[in-house]
Structure 1
Amino acid sequence: MTTETVAIAEWRALDRDGRDQCRLVRSDGGWMLVGHARFGEAEGRSRLDYVIRCDAEWHTQGADVSGVYREKPVALCIKRSGNDWVLNDLPQPDVEGAVDIDLGFTPATNLMPLRRLCEVGRMQARAAWLRDPESGLQPLNQAYTRERGGLVRYEAEQTGFQTELKVSGDGFVTLYPGYWEAQTLP
């Protein structure tokens, strides 16, 4: 397999003590996000590594999440085949039809829909949302609207959450208000 790192992003958490670093890798026939999230909360420390595999059109094909979440071991294997999703070999019918994975502990997974979003316009996408490694997959209908100055309006239907994301030219979020802020790499 041939791979090439095309971008690196690093974020500082704004709502807790935490960091996340992610590499965007071009691979044969698609893309990968390879990241490392580290954060602490009242419930304990978390050290999560993730790999997300996408096809050439930025649709999620699968993801692996491993490490420790709130001091408990984590090993998740998520696969998508057509409209169907599986988490550790268990079918996930609630997220049928989703095209993206949304890992709730990192801003990296906004990259896939942002890469599909036109220069001007609005796009809706259904995600298989892993709110946290203990919650399983849930449906999350999202809308992205490109605005001026590198801003993208983001809305999540099931939670009612709305915000304006700042986005870099490579598609990574640079500011997720209240949650994440990009850091300059040395």
Structure 2
Amino acid sequence: MKLYIWRGVEYKSWEQCKVQTQPDGYTVESLITGNHFGKIFNVKYVLRLDKRWSIQNFEIHLEIDGAKDIIKGIRNGEDWEINDIFRPEFRGLLYIDISLTPFTNSLPINNLMLMIDQSFKINVIYIDILNKNIRRVNQRYTIKSKYEYFYENYDTNFVSPISVDRNGIVRSYPNLFELVSEGINKNA
């Protein structure tokens, strides 16, 4: 089991993330706590990924200023159900992007396996935790060097470099997230 801790710069948050390798892929469990513009939040998410880092299902437990909620997503072939509701606009999507964590940026980075200067446009299920909004978003990832990517969000015109470690896990997402610790739990 690999352990990661990120500091959220913009969200004034801390995230403790565990990535467990399974025979059929990965299980990711994470806890995030923070305070963004006076909204105090606690989030626990569990992701199930296949061996190619494509999302299979997810469960997000959130508490914002004392109000609790759950967001569940299950992929059935090409189709998605979010909180038991069929969502045709997400058909064929392989990735999610959770607003409060850099970890979900590692999904397309590991799945796309781009060559230097190659880029790829993708669509993701974007989960804006603090605004409780789930929508389809257009993004592009371009690899600049072995550990450096350039991220573009076409819906908001947001762009940023992203640096990753040798496993494709986000280390630095300037002004948003910084990895402060990583390790291996040999007892897990």
Please report the TM-score for the alignment, with normalisation by the length of structure 1. Answer: 0.89
- Describe the SS at the equivalent of 2:167: coil
* 8 Å CA contact retained: 2:126, 2:137: yes
Aligned match of 1:75 in 70, 74, 79?
70
Cα deviations across residues 47-80 of structure 1 (Å, max 9, x unaligned)?
A: 1110111111111101000131232102121111
Residue 152 of structure 2 corresponds to residue 162 of structure 1: no
Cα pair 2:109 2:141 within 8 Å, conserved: yes
Equivalent pairs counted in the alignment come to: 181
Which amino acid is the alignment partner of residue 181 of structure 2? T
Does 168-177 or 66-75 show the bigger shift? 66-75
Is 2:173 aligned against 1:173?
no
1:183 to 168, 171, 180: 180
Give the number of the structure with larger relative contact order, counting CA–CA contacts within 8 Å between residues 6 or more apart. 2
- With normalisation by structure 2, the TM-score equals 0.88
- Displacement of 1:44 after TM fit? 2.5
- Secondary structure of the residue aligned to 1:23 is strand
> Which deviations, in whole Å up to 9, do the C-alpha atoms of 1:83-137 show, x marking residues without a partner?
2111110122222221101111111111111112234222222111111265342
Unpaired runs of at least 5, structure 2:
184-188
* Alignment partner of 1:111 is 2:111: no
Aligned to 1:19: 14
Paired-residue identity, %: 22
Segments of 5+ residues of structure 1 without an aligned counterpart are none
Give me the whole-angstrom Cα distance separating, in 2, the residues matched to 1:133 and 1:84.
25
Change (3 A) 1:143 1:11: same
Q: Is the CA contact (8 Å cut-off) linking 2:62 and 2:68 kept in structure 1?
A: yes
SS at match of 1:184: strand
Given candidates 46, 50, 56, the residue that maps to 2:45 is 50
- Counterpart of 1:151 in structure 2 is 148
Superposed CA offset, 1:16-42 (max 9, x none): 321112111111311121111111123
Asked whether 1:86 is paired with 2:91, we answer: no
Answer whether contact 1:97 1:126 (CA < 8 A) is retained.
no
Q: Is the 8 A contact 1:95 1:137 kept in 2?
A: no
Structure 2 counterpart of 1:127, which letter? V
Contact 1:102 1:110 in 2 (8 A): yes
Contact 1:103 1:130 in 2 (8 A): yes
Say whether 1:37 aligns with 2:66.
no
Query: Cα RMSD over matched residues?
Result: 1.8
